[in-house]
Amino acid sequence: MDDPPRPRCPRPILLTLFALALLAALAPGAATAIGGRTTPPANRRAPVGSVVAWGYNNDGQATVPTGLSGVVQVAAGWYYNLALKSDGTVVAWGADNDGQTDVPTGLSGVVQVAATWYHSLALKNDGTVVAWGNNRYGQASVPAGLSDVVQVSAGGVHCLALKSDGTVVAWGYPTTVPTGLSGVVQVSAGGAHSLVLAGLIAPSITSAPPGSGSYGVAYSHTLTALGSAPISFSLTSGSLPPGLSFDTVTGVIRGTPTQAGSFGPISVAASNMLGSDTQSFTLTIAPATLAIIADGQTRAYGAANPALTYTASGFVNNDPASIISGALATDATASSLVGSYAITQGSLSAGANYTISFSEASLTITPATLAVSANNQTRSYGMANPPLTYRVGGLVNGDTERVLTGALATTATTGSPVGAYPSPGVTFSWCHR
């Protein structure tokens, strides 16, 4: 690509912002600092002032717009000027042959402006950049996705953006940034060259404390830190949960927890040649969930309860079923009446590494079977029937014949002729108490 064009050299143009607003805007504490989000609030900007301009005025660049006030920063380009107001809006005047003074409609939230030959830059308070004006070399086309910017500088036909992590992005021509450049605290774009001020920065851990994990489930958390490389990580106090390890090069905590519980306080550090930053936390490993489903059971009245059984699922870490201890329970006893009785978790436990999700079942008690045998009876023709008696077998739980109600029956009557008359059935019932 050919060398970028050089602008015509006019007579000097000077801008002065009363109350030293421009100097204050560039002074330490007014500009955004590396290592954190950067843009100062409005009440931290330079003092609000008015603008005075003088010098070459062929395009009106030395004629300040009438009523311009509330200015916190100015930037002078070739034949045009930009003024940033305290409300975050931008005013431009002077030459407009390439649209350099055509401030985009609705532009607001601006915290810094930069002017150059024939294009303009604005840094917004959300860390994004807006550009307008001449775009022959792509200098007015902000790279897609550019964010976290804390300072901008406009060169002849190129632009520089300093990000909060101390790295630099360039576009237009030329755009090459030295490989590995980091720890930058200021950028400055010239006609066709660039300058940065780089300094060593002590590390600052930027990642949130590790979140909780679960027993038997793969876990991973990455510590991140801003600062000058190389940065190393270390575990300075406490112990990680069993099954987890800490990579001191990458800052990654990973593994599969083999014990549930709360572990802490744990402290980790990010360090470089300038110092270190420490983060302390408690790491909680939640128990795994074991699903236990009781099996339904049935028995007869008066019988002993059968073994109460269950099925279990959800074991992790190759744990065997033998980790379960205790037994299921029911309120039913050998003397319990016919009916349905819940089978509950009872004393069943799988230890501290598991929480049991239990599903109940029922123990159903059915009636016992009684064997009732009628006794044979004899009487003479014309006589009244004798009492009809019987024998009972199968009574349980100390029950007696008194649990039976009703009576036997026969088809024989006083007037029945001589013969044998079988009992057609038992007309009584029994109950239990």
With respect to residue 5, please indicate whether it lies within any of the assigned structural domains.
no
Co-location of 102 and 151 in the same domain: yes
DSSP 325: B
Co-location of 166 and 39 in the same domain: yes
Co-location of 73 and 167 in the same domain: yes
Beta bridge partners of 113: 122
With respect to residue 230, please indicate whether it lies within any of the assigned structural domains.
yes
Co-location of 30 and 177 in the same domain: yes
With respect to residue 7, please indicate whether it lies within any of the assigned structural domains.
no
| C-alpha distances in Å from residue 167, one per residue of 101, 139, 196, 207, 349 | 29, 19, 10, 18, 55
Report pLDDT for 6: 53
Over residues 109-159, the pLDDT tens digits come to 999 999 999 999 999 999 999 999 999 999 999 999 999 999 999 999 999
pLDDT of 32 strictly over 50: no
With respect to residue 3, please indicate whether it lies within any of the assigned structural domains.
no
With respect to residue 354, please indicate whether it lies within any of the assigned structural domains.
yes
Co-location of 262 and 194 in the same domain: no
| Domain span including residue 408 | 368-433
Report pLDDT for 198: 81
**Which amino acid is residue 25, in one-letter code?**
A
pTM metric for this prediction:
0.51
DSSP 146: -
Of the listed ranges 8-12, 76-80, 401-405, the least confidently predicted one is 8-12
**Which amino acid is residue 220, in one-letter code?**
S
Strands in 33-139 per DSSP E? 51-55, 71-77, 80-85, 90-94, 110-115, 119-124, 129-133
User: Are 216 and 28 within 8 A, CB to CB?
Assistant: no
Co-location of 251 and 133 in the same domain: no
pLDDT of 429 strictly over 70: no
Q: If pLDDT is split at 50, 70 and 90, which confidence band does 2 have?
A: low
Question: Looking at 229, 256, 285, which one is the last position of a domain?
Answer: 285
Pairing of strands 354-359, 288-294: parallel
Report pLDDT for 7: 59
Question: Looking at 285, 308, 330, which one is the last position of a domain?
Answer: 285
Percent of the chain with pLDDT over 90: 68
With respect to residue 269, please indicate whether it lies within any of the assigned structural domains.
yes
pLDDT mean over 203-229:
94
Report pLDDT for 220: 98
With respect to residue 406, please indicate whether it lies within any of the assigned structural domains.
yes
CATH code (residue 325)? 3.10.430
Q: Look up tokens 């939230």; give the residue.
A: 109
Strands in 144-260 per DSSP E? 149-154, 158-163, 168-172, 184-189, 194-198, 204-205, 213-214, 219-222, 225-226, 232-237, 244-247, 252-255
pLDDT of 392 strictly over 50: yes
Co-location of 138 and 42 in the same domain: yes
Co-location of 338 and 384 in the same domain: no
Of the listed ranges 71-75, 82-86, 186-190, 375-379, the least confidently predicted one is 375-379
Co-location of 141 and 156 in the same domain: yes
Domains of the chain: total: 4
Report pLDDT for 1: 52
Over residues 303-314, the pLDDT tens digits come to 999 999 999 999
Question: Looking at 312, 335, 366, which one is the last position of a domain?
Answer: 366
Co-location of 186 and 71 in the same domain: yes
Co-location of 362 and 373 in the same domain: no
pLDDT of 214 strictly over 60: yes
User: Are 161 and 141 within 8 A, CB to CB?
Assistant: no
With respect to residue 6, please indicate whether it lies within any of the assigned structural domains.
no
**Which amino acid is residue 196, in one-letter code?**
V
CATH code (residue 214)? 2.60.40.10
Co-location of 59 and 23 in the same domain: yes
